[in-house]
Amino acid sequence: MKTETTISGVRAALRAARKAGKSIAMVPTMGNLHAGHITLVKTAKRRADIVVTSIFVNPTQFGINEDFDKYPRTLSADSALLAEASCDILFAPDMREMYPDGRQQNTSVNVSGITDMLCGTSRPGHFSGVATVVSKLFNIVQPDMALFGEKDYQQLAVIRRFSRDLCFPVEVIGVATVRAEDGLALSSRNGFLSSEERKLAPQLFKTLSSLRTAIEGGQRDYAMLAAAANTHLAKCGFVPEYLEVRRQDLELAGHGDKALVILVAARLGSTRLIDNLAFELP
Ligand code: PAF
């Protein structure tokens, strides 16, 4: 596996492959890789000739009181995992390479509509930071396809939307969430949980699963179901931020809708966790 830290370096490394007509898949990450990321890399490897994984902890998607400074940076362990997963190129730029004029660059990518809800409400500016950095990464690497985890459901919807609106020639592929045996969605932020909090954390997915069972059993008062689920999470020790039943396109769900997703964000101590469960009614 080659490691490149500059835009010109990664472009040069891909030139021969591109000339030879090889397909290129990209896996954008912020590092501190876990089995979920490695599944993305392995899926990419099955679908394309060359896999580029980027590691860049993007400051523009963190709010001022968020965990940018303490976000885990584990480049050498990540690099070993990627090599083992047969990743071809690791692109690990620094801040100056990605934002030569500082984080307040004049141009940003803003997606309206689907960012005005859920995580977009509680993390103002977050999705603009994500859309801007992913656009930059797409322009740097120019992949044929890019893979993202479905755990970040709204992020994936935002990336699909701007890629289509701005005509990026990139196929955006969502890959199923990888979970621990007890159901907790794998996330780099799980490492912030104390051992007590880690024991409680699977309640998040259990709550989503119970809600799904209730809806499949015929209950349709989504506001009431969400309020009861919030109360349950609060009793378990979470501070819920939102829990909503929506259509899979993130519009508000009505009684007749069949393709649904339940989305949740909640804090456990100082750690913010998100999860979701998408399903179809018959
Ligand atoms: O999901 C992430 O790790 C990040 O939001 C992404 C897509 C790599 C952009 O920084």
pLDDT digits (tens, 9 = 90+) for 226-255: 999 999 999 999 999 999 999 999 999 999
At the top level of CATH, the class of 2-175 is: alpha beta
Q: Give the pLDDT confidence score for residue 263 in this predicted structure.
A: 98
Q: Which residue's alpha carbon is at the smallest distance from atom 9 of ligand 1?
A: 130
Identical fold, 2-175 and 188-277: no
Q: Is 126 exposed, middle or buried (0-12, 13-18, 19+ CB in 10 A)?
A: buried
- In the chain, the largest separation of any two C-alpha atoms, in whole Å, equals 58
pLDDT band at residue 266 using 50, 70 and 90 as cut-offs: very high
Catalytic positions, written as ranges? 37
Q: Give the pLDDT confidence score for residue 247 in this predicted structure.
A: 98
Cα 130 to middle of ligand 1, angstroms: 6
246: which residues sit within 8 A by CB, 6+ positions away? Answer: 252, 253, 260, 261, 262, 263
Question: Per-residue pLDDT averaged across 191-213, rounded?
Answer: 98
**Which of 50, 97, 113 is closest to 250 using CA atoms?**
113
Question: Per-residue pLDDT averaged across 124-150, rounded?
Answer: 98
**Which of 211, 214, 217, 193 is closest to 266 using CA atoms?**
193
Question: Per-residue pLDDT averaged across 184-213, rounded?
Answer: 98
* Residue 134 near ligand 1, beta carbon < 6 Å: yes
Evaluate if pTM is beyond 0.85: yes
143: which residues sit within 8 A by CB, 6+ positions away? Answer: 24, 25, 26, 48, 52, 170
Q: Give the pLDDT confidence score for residue 232 in this predicted structure.
A: 97
The pLDDT mean for the chain works out to: 97
Q: How many CB atoms lie within 10 A of CB 57?
A: 17
Within 13 Å, how many C-alpha atoms sit on residue 17's CB side?
Answer: 20
* Residue 40 near ligand 1, beta carbon < 6 Å: no
At the top level of CATH, the class of 188-277 is: alpha beta
Which pairs count as long-range contacts for 220-228, CB under 8 Å and 24+ apart, including other chains? 220/255, 222/253
90, 108, 152, 177: residue to mutate for ligand 1 pocket, most atoms within 8 A of CB:
152
Q: Give the pLDDT confidence score for residue 117 in this predicted structure.
A: 98
pLDDT band at residue 23 using 50, 70 and 90 as cut-offs: very high
Question: Per-residue pLDDT averaged across 51-78, rounded?
Answer: 96
d(CA 197, CA 218): 33
Structure tokens at 139: 């322009």
Structure tokens at 265: 């964000």
* Residue 30 near ligand 1, beta carbon < 6 Å: yes
Cα 96 to middle of ligand 1, angstroms: 18
pLDDT band at residue 38 using 50, 70 and 90 as cut-offs: very high
Per-domain residue ranges of the chain: 2-175, 188-277
Is 276 in contact with 201 (CB distance < 8 Å)?
no
**Per-residue pLDDT tens over the stretch 66-113:** 999 999 999 999 999 999 999 999 999 999 999 999 988 999 999 999
Q: Which residue's alpha carbon is at the smallest distance from atom 5 of ligand 1?
A: 130
d(CA 144, CA 64): 34
